[in-house]
Amino acid sequence: MKPGPRRSLSHREILDAAFELLEAKGFDAVSVRGVAGALGLTPTAMYTYYPNKQALLAGMVEQVLGRLPIGSTADGTARASADGAADARSRVLAVAHGLRDLLVHRPGAVGLLLATPLDGANARRIDEELLAAFTGAGLDLASAGRAAHAVRIHVLGAVAFDAAEAGRTAEAQAEAETPGAASDTLWDDLESFPLADRCRTLADDPAERFSWGVERLLDGLLAAMPAR
């Protein structure tokens, strides 16, 4: 092929192609070469838009985090309320569930978040909302920072575990469909894990488990207020 026409793609078009690839074939398929191919470009042409793969992934993270609505209450900054803690709880819950919904409905997005620094403008915007909520509840700035960090950890970690678990059960199903392969790794160690085994039969719903965990975390965080 000769150089071809100057298409001059926008970053939007490139990111759209990358997300299409992500949702169709998973995170591993989001390669510089793969995205270039989907756009009808040579791999090297990608380097005129992004200096490296990290920058491309960072662009994707920014786009997906940008879809999280924040501070949705219409009253703007005037948010003073009778109960600062209750206010904080609802604001943090909105961020937590919003973020989870964003990632759960986007297969492969977890890999994206885990592979990328999370220091872009939209990540900072989310941080700011969490900090505002916790300081509004009466926490000092240092505690609010730690509380926001704990929420960050919990949301991302929960989604990552859910995704890993979903992938594993999908594999297990695919394996069960091939009757030739006997159940491998049936270790039957001397050890047994009665509680864990009984627990596994419960088959908890991921969404409910997430909700419960965030509520309990908030119970602990919002109790960390200076006595007043």
Partner DNA sequence: ACCTGAACACCGTTCAAGT
Where do contacts with its own copies occur on this chain (CB under 8 A)? 114, 117-119, 121, 124-125, 127-128, 131-132, 135, 141-150, 152-154, 156-158, 160-161, 164, 168, 187, 189, 191, 193-196, 198-199, 202, 204, 209, 212-213, 215-221, 223-224
Distance between CA atoms of residues 125 and 109, nearest Å: 19
- Closest contact distance (angstroms) between CB of 192 and DNA is 29
> To 10 degrees, what angle do helices 84-104 and 121-136 make?
150
Between 67 and 168, whose beta carbon lies closer to its own copies? 168
145 binds, among DNA, its own copies, none (CB under 5 to 8 A by kind): its own copies
- Closest contact distance (angstroms) between CB of 64 and DNA is 18
Between 4 and 117, whose beta carbon lies closer to its own copies? 117
- Closest contact distance (angstroms) between CB of 115 and DNA is 11
102 binds, among its own copies, DNA, none (CB under 5 to 8 A by kind): none
Rg of the chain, C-alpha, whole Å: 22
18 binds, among DNA, its own copies, none (CB under 5 to 8 A by kind): none
Between 37 and 107, whose beta carbon lies closer to its own copies? 107
Between 41 and 56, whose beta carbon lies closer to its own copies? 56
DSSP 3-17: --------HHHHHHH
Please report, as ranges, the residues that interact with DNA according to CB under 7 A. Answer: 1-4, 6-9, 29, 31-34, 40-45, 47-49, 52-54
23 three-class SS:
helix
Distance between CA atoms of residues 226 and 170, nearest Å: 47
Between 61 and 221, whose beta carbon lies closer to DNA? 61
- Closest contact distance (angstroms) between CB of 172 and its own copies is 10
Residues 36, 46 contacting (CB under 8 angstroms): yes
- Closest contact distance (angstroms) between CB of 103 and DNA is 21
The token pair at 28 is 């591993």
